[in-house]
Amino acid sequence: MNKFAQLMMIVSLLALLLVSALMSGLIQSERWTISEVEVAAEYRRVSAEQVRFAIKKTSEKSFFRLDTDQVKKSLKSLNWVREAHVVKQWPNSLKVTLTEHQPTAIWNEQQLINQRGELFNVERMDDVAGLPKLYGPDNQVQALYKLFNRFNRLLQPLGHEISVAQVSQRGGWQLTLRNGLDINLGTEQQESRALRLADTWQNLLRSSQQTPQRVDLRYSNGYVVQWRPKEKTPQPQSKSNQKQEVS
């Protein structure tokens, strides 16, 4: 018998001994309990207390019997957790790595979109109220999110990001920038229309002392601008010459 065959026989015998020990109860939960948990997480949205509670949900604490998939499932049930990686390390440790969602937009006032264009739910949106809002059909979220980012880049020369984007069932885009400017891109040639506005933006501003309020780009050779009404300059009030007696 060669050395390789001998080695394989030894490994097989050790495996059989381990199985026998498990079946006979020699390896019990209280003898091989996981007592250390190492967590790698940024803790921006998820707290250490939430993580500990999620791990404790798993009733089995034995190193051999603990199901890491169950721990992973429990961790991923936390609202802000996008991904969880759980590994057992001999003899009594559990290594956990968490990746949190990075919110980039609010979808239909009900969910959040992360940096990958994935939807996720949270209990409260109070602390993300400043995120841009995107409205559209639920079955098109990833495609619309890509276009949203694309239009944001194309409209950079205007100096303000998109705060609200509304997409109709027919694919028409209406945007509101953070300075309040409304832009109608229509349903066709949206990228070229956005570029047309960006390329002529400075000339547009120089052509009038007023500020654009709405821009309708649904035209083949140009666009229509609605200007904000001029603010009335307050008239100086005449002051009456009053004398005050000082006693």
175-216 per-position pLDDT tens digit: 999 999 999 999 999 999 999 999 999 999 999 989 999 999
CATH label, 104-227, candidates 3.40.50.11690, 3.30.565.10, 2.60.40.10, 3.40.47.10: 3.40.50.11690
Query: What pLDDT, on a 0 to 100 scale, did the predictor assign at position 232?
Result: 63
**pTM for this structure?**
0.78
Q: CB under 8 Å, gap of 24 or more: what pairs does 237-246 form?
A: none
Closest to 226 in 3D by CA, of 180, 172, 162: 180
Class of domain 28-100: alpha beta
Give yes or no for residue 224 having a pLDDT over 90: yes
Give yes or no for residue 14 having a pLDDT over 80: no
Distance CA 103, CA 126 (A): 13
Domain ranges of the chain: 28-100, 104-227
